[in-house]
Structure 1
Amino acid sequence: MNILLLGSGGREHAFAYQITQSPRCKQLYIAPGNAGTALVGENAPMAATDFPKIKEFCLSKQIALVVVGPEEPLVKGIVDFFAQDPALAAIPIVGPSQKGATLEGSKEFAKEFMQRHHIPTARYASFTKENLEQGLQFLQTMAPPYVLKADGLAAGKGVLILDNLEQAQAELKQMLLEEKFGAASQKVVIEEFLKGIELSCFVLTDGKSYRILPTAKDYKRIGEGDTGLNTGGMGAVSPVPFADEAFMKKIEDRIIIPTIEGIKKEQIHYRGFIFIGLIKVGNDPYVIEYNVRMGDPETEAVLPRIQTDLVDLLEAAAKGQLEGSSLSIDPRSATTVVLVSGGYPEDYQKGKVISGLQEQGESLVFHAGTSLKEGEVVTSGGRVLAITSLADNFKEALKKSYNRIEKISFEGMYYRKDIGKDLG
């Protein structure tokens, strides 16, 4: 079958790599893709949010399955766009409806959903500039550190964790009055800080049945020892060593099942991924946030561990036929280390030539922010490459990834050397 994958990051290269392992994939198109996806499929020069162009492309190329990588097309309603167009309605698409995507598109909607369905999460309240004074007072009732979240999409950067009350109040003013994170911070959710260790849980659902994919832990801060600014993610480890069978049972019973039941009760059309950002407090799981697609860079560590034909799984979810489908997972550990441009997540330069990509080895090199220029692969984003390795344990896998990184270089290249250090 011909498959269209939307997106251009490391997540999409990992999807493209895995999809093309399937004998059922005749031709994979990636829109817009990057220099890495061009190695496994054919890039299509159109934005993932250009719905009319996507329609034209699907019909001209006889696309039989659409896989949506990033959140933006989902929040903008691409699934509804397909469902409402007689020419597209028969094409299965992996992703939730616009209402379902609001679980990521609005932090407030997600928190209210959790409350309605008794899903454990932190205490919270949300504010706009109209009730800023109440927000400033609410902060005074909280114990530090103070967590401020832009309600809308802010590319993974709209969360502030601050120890000082005056600073938290100043940032709240900046977010609401000056729109520090653009339209995303016209509403701000203030929530209780939960102290514990984080992990990501991934679920594929057709809105009725579900399959739990491998867990992962990602590393958000730019600096070693989890210091400095938040990024889109500097590395990931899968599985999470502390998420044993008993803890996973708690996650399934208290969080996954009530989430799926909530989606059913509220009659939300949802055929895609649910990424549940969790925190382990003591021995109990709490939800930090929902995302409505796979995470990045966790995807680069999770997908290589899936041994089942990914196209079969995706098609079953998109057609509402997930019940009874099997999921086989590689018992080995996978680790991903992200190479970023100097200066990221603030200003950085693009167009730096990347060398060492031709070296053969066991590790998988997923492209994130790359493009082709005059026959050479150059940097085009903050996060440039994700290096994934598999081994019997995560420490061995990390050694492999770091060894592969030594053969790669580009001007200003930076990466964290402490991924997985907190896992023992």
Structure 2
Amino acid sequence: MNILLLGSGGREHALAWKMTQSKQCSQLYIAPGNAGTSRHGINVSIGVNDFEAQKNFCLANNITLVVVGPEEPLVKGVYDFYKQDEALKHIIVIGPSAYGAQLEGSKAFSKKFMQRHNIPTAAYAEFDETNFEDGRKYIQQHSLPIVLKADGLAAGKGVVICYSRDEALKVFEEMIVHKQFGDASAKVVIEQFLSGIEVSVFVLTNGKDYKIIGHAKDYKRIGEGDTGPNTGGMGCVSPVPFVTPGFLAKVEETIIKPTVDGLHKEGVVYNGFIFFGLIKVENEPYVIEYNCRMGDPETEVVMPLLQNDLVALFLALDNDTLKNTTIDFDTRACCTVVAVSGGYPGDYEKNKTITGLASSFEEDTLVFHAGTLQQNEAVVTNGGRVLAVSAYGKDIQQAVTTSKKALEQISFEGMYFRRDIGYEFE
């Protein structure tokens, strides 16, 4: 079958790599893709939110499966666009409806959903300009630290942990009064701070049945030892040592099953991934956030460890055979380390030539492109996160070592990567 994959990051390169291993994938197209995805299919210059251009392309190229990588087109209703169009509705779309995508697109929506279905999460309240003063009073009476979240999508920058009430009041005002994130911060969710260790669990679901396809621990801070500003993710490891079978069973019973059952009971159309952003507090799991797609860079460790045919899993979602599917995992560990542009997550320059991509890396090393662009014979930087180098190992330490060895053979002006991914599991 002909498949269209939407997106251009490391997540999409990992999905492209995985899907083209399937005998059911005849031709893969990636819109818009990057220098790495072009090794697995044909890049097409169509934006992820340009639904009309996607329609024309799908009809011209006999597309039967569309896989949506990033969250924005899902929140904007790409699933609904296809399913409400007579010419497109036969196409299988991997992703939730716009209503279902509110699990990620609206913090207030997801918190209310969790409340309705008794899913463990931090206590919260929501405010907008109509009850702004009530919000100020709430902050002044709240214990510290306190978490403020822009309700909508804010490119990963809409969550602030405040350690003083003055800071919290300032952030609250910036978000609502000064519209720091535009419409995304018209409403703000204020949350109890939970102290613990984070992990993400990934599920495929058709809104009724589900399968866990992996888990990972992401490293968000730019600096070693988890210091400095948050980024989109500097690396990942899987499997996570503290995710024991007992803990995962608890996650499934108290969080995953109630979430999918809740979607089913409420008639929510959901045909794709759920990313459960969790925190372990004294051996109890709580939901920090839902995402309605795979994570990045988590995909770069989850896909290498997933042994199933990914396209077959997508078809099982559609033909209602997911419940009969067994998920198989590689028994090794996997680590990915992200190389970023100098200055990231602040201002950075693009168009820096990348060298070393043709090096002879150790076996079991995978180089996934994120922010890259093919310029004639050269590959150049085209984003803050440039490459994610994944490697297998008998344990996390060996996987990290192998990944770093590969990164030491790659270079571009200003290149930086964290050398301590997985440090707490040494």
Asked if residue 325 in structure 1 is aligned to residue 325 in structure 2, the reply is: yes
Asked whether the 8 Å contact 1:11–1:300 carries over to 2, the reply is yes
| Match among 384, 387, 402 for residue 385 of structure 1 | 387
Instruction: Supply the AA of the counterpart residue of 1:29.
Output: Y
Cα offsets for 1:79-138 (capped at 9, x unmatched): 111111111111111000010000000000000000000000000001112211111111
The CA deviation at 1:5 is 0.4
What one-letter code is carried by the residue in structure 2 that aligns with 1:251?
V
CA deviations over 1:164-218 (Å, ceiling 9, x no partner): 1101111110111111122211111110000000000000011111110111000
**CA offsets 1:38-94 (integer angstroms, 9 cap, x no match):** 111100100011001111111110011110000011000011111111111111110
Q: What does residue 278 of structure 1 align with? A: 278
Secondary structure of the residue that 2:322 maps to in structure 1? coil
Give the Cα separation in 2 of the matches to 1:4 and 1:319.
19
Find the counterpart in structure 2 of residue 118 from structure 1: 118
Partner of 2:172: 172
* 8 Å contact from structure 2 (residues 396, 425) kept in 1: no
Contact kept? 1:206, 1:321, Cα under 8 Å: no
1:375-406 Cα offsets, whole Å, 9 max, x none, are: 21000000000000011111100000000000
Q: Which residue in the other structure is 1:423 paired with?
A: 425
Identity of aligned residues (%): 58
| TM-aligned CA deviation for residue 322 of structure 1 | 1.3
Q: 3-state DSSP class of the match of 2:153?
A: coil
User: Paired residues, what number?
Assistant: 424
CA RMSD of aligned residues (A): 0.9
DSSP 3-state at the match of 2:329: coil
Provide the residue aligned with 2:400 in structure 1.
Answer: 398
Q: Residue 214 of structure 1: SS of its match in structure 2?
A: strand
Deviates more, 1:290-299 or 1:153-162: 153-162
Q: Contact 1:353–1:377 at 8 Å: present in 2 too?
A: yes
Q: Which piece of structure 1 moves more, 61-70 or 139-148?
A: 139-148
**Distance (Å, rounded) in 2 between the aligned partners of 1:190 and 1:79:** 30
1:141 CA displacement? 2.4
Query: Conserved in 2, the CA contact under 8 Å of 1:272 and 1:318?
Result: no
Aligned counterpart, 2:217? 217
In the other structure, the counterpart of 2:303 is: 303
C-alpha distance in 2 between matches for 1:360 and 1:107: 45
Say if 2:98 is the partner of 1:98. Answer: yes
Where 1:98 maps in the other structure, the secondary structure is coil
* Structure 1: gaps spanning 5 or more residues: none
* 1:217–1:237 CA contact under 8 A, matched in 2: yes
Partners in 1 of 2:297 and 2:315 — Cα distance?
23
The Cα of 1:160 is off from its aligned counterpart by: 0.5
Partner of 2:187: 187
CA contact (8 A) 1:206 1:319 kept: no
Q: CA deviation at 1:326?
A: 2.1
In 1, the alpha carbon distance for the partners of 2:45 and 2:195 equals 44
Equivalent residue, structure 1, for 2:368: 366
Give, in angstroms, the shift of residue 331 of structure 1.
1.1
- For structure 2, the residue ranges without an aligned partner over 5 or more in a row are none
Kept in 2: contact 1:139–1:169 (CA 8 A)? yes
Q: Which residue of 1 aligns with 2:410?
A: 408
1:131-161 CA-partner distances (Å, limit 9, x unpaired)? 1111111112221111111100011111111
One-letter code of the match for 1:219? Y
* Equivalence for 1:71: 71
